[in-house]
Amino acid sequence: MSKLYLLRHAKAGWALPGMRDFDRPLDASGLADAATMGAAMRARSYIPDLTLCSNAKRARQTLEGLAGHTDTGRVLFLDTLYSEDAAGYLSIIRGNGGPGSLLVIGHNPMTEDLTIALSG
């Protein structure tokens, strides 16, 4: 792949009683930040050919915020981006890499751990 963009989902609210962590939505600042990030990506021509996005609600909402302001390319939603560790993320990236650019919208600590591992 020519470029890899790693993005942790925007700020999520706390889970309500009985709510699964997987279903936690973005809070108001997270929704605004996702839109701001989409505009910033467009302004810098950070346009992925493929986006891999966790199926968790907050990751999907982050993608929606980006998509309102920039092109996100073809999108694949993966449950494994919610549960894998950094090594799993790398395996997913390798399995979906191609000649173009790739955006991964995932979670911490996996996104942060992978960033540290790749940047040395």
Domain count, the chain: 1
Range of the structural domain that residue 75 is part of = 3-119
- CA dihedral 44→99→89→10, nearest 10 degrees, is 20
In sequence order, the β-bridge partners of residue 34 are: none
pTM of the model: 0.95
pLDDT at 93: 96
Task: For residue 69, count CB atoms less than 10 angstroms from its CB and return exposed for 0-12, middle for 13-18, buried for 19 or more.
Answer: middle
CATH code at position 18: 3.40.50.1240
Q: 3-state class of 118 per DSSP? A: helix
pLDDT tens for the chain, 120 residues long, are 689 999 999 999 998 899 999 999 999 999 999 999 999 999 999 999 999 999 999 999 999 999 999 999 999 999 999 999 999 999 999 999 888 999 999 999 999 999 999 998
The alpha carbons of the chain give a radius of gyration, in whole angstroms, of 14
